[in-house]
Homo-oligomer: A and B are copies of this chain.
Amino acid sequence: MAIPLLQLALDNTSLAEALESTRVLASELDVIEAGTVLCVTAGNQAVKALRALYPDKIIVADIKVADAGALLAKVMIGECGADWMTVICSAPVPTFETALKEAKKYPRGDIQAELFGNWTFEEAAEWKKVGIKQAIYHRGRDAQAAGQTWGQVDIDKIAKLAEMGFEVSVTGGLEVEDLKLFKGIPVKAFIAGRNLRDAADPAAAARAFKDEIRKWWS
C-alpha cells in the first residue's frame, strides 16, 4: 500500500499570510492546496504564486466547482498551473465530465470529487463512469464545530470508496492521533490546515504527521 501523502490546506484570507505558512512548511509537504477562502480572496494569483514557488509539489485548486467545469479547469489548471482541482459532489455529472476532459489536456491535470453533505454511492458510481478517480472525504469545519467527530460511519464510507477504486483523500480537523483510525485503507493524502499552520512549530507538526503516517502505512 502506498504511503499516504501529506497535504497542507491554505485557507488564509490573503496570499501573503498563506505564504508565511508555506515558507516554513513546504519542505515537509507533498501537496499544497489553495483553499476556497484563499482562492476567492487572492484570486488566480494564489495558485499562480504557489506554482511559481513550488514547482515540484502537487498544487491543488480547492474551489469546489459546481458548474462551468471545463472553463474553470482551463483557468485553474491550464492557465494558473494547478495540478488538481476539486468539483463539489452536488455538481451535475456533466460538470465532472467536462472538467476532467479539460484537466487531462495538461500533464498532471486531474479532478477530485469533493464529498460534502448527502452524496450517495450511486452518484459516486456515476462519477467513476465518467472517469473520475479521486475523491476527498470531508468533515467540514462547520460540521466539526457543531460537534461532528470521526466515527466508524466515516471509516466505512472511505473504505467503500477505496474498494470502488477511488483514490480517497481525507480532511477535516485531522489530528495526528486520528490517523490510525484510517489504518488499512489506501488513503491518497491526509489534508491538514490549521493543525499544521497554527502549531507552535509547524514543521515539527508536519513531521509528526509524517511519522504517524509511516508508522501505520509501511
Give chain A's interface residues, CB within 8 Å of chain B: 11, 13, 36-37, 39-46, 61, 63-72, 75-76, 88-92, 94-95, 97-98, 114, 116-120, 123, 138, 140-143, 145-146, 148
Contacts and interface: CB of A to CB of B under 8 A. Distances in A.
A1 to B, nearest CB: 29
B142 A117 contact: no
A70 B37 CA distance: 11
A11 B166 CA distance: 31
A141 B120 CA distance: 23
A41 B41 contact: no
A40 B92 contact: no
B142 A67 contact: yes
- Complex copy number for this chain: 2
Nearest to A13: B75
A84 to B, nearest CB: 15
B37 A40 contact: no
A69 to B, nearest CB: 6
29 contacts: A36-B65, A36-B66, A36-B72, A39-B40, A40-B61, A40-B72, A40-B75, A41-B43, A43-B43, A43-B46, A66-B116, A67-B116, A67-B138, A67-B141, A68-B142, A89-B117, A90-B90, A90-B118, A90-B119, A91-B116, A91-B117, A92-B116, A94-B140, A94-B142, A94-B143, A94-B146, A95-B143, A98-B145, A118-B120
Contacts of A119: 90
Contact of A66 (B42, B43, B45, B114): B114
Nearest to A86: B66
B42 A72 contact: no
A42 B45 CA distance: 8
Contacts of A64: 64, 66, 88
With most chain B CB atoms within 10 A of its CB, the pick from A44, A114, A117, A143 is A117
A61 B36 CA distance: 13
Given A36-B72, A37-B72, A39-B43, 20 more contacts: A36-B66, A36-B67, A36-B68, A39-B40, A43-B43, A64-B88, A66-B116, A67-B142, A69-B142, A88-B88, A89-B90, A90-B116, A90-B117, A91-B142, A92-B116, A92-B140, A92-B146, A94-B143, A94-B145, A97-B142
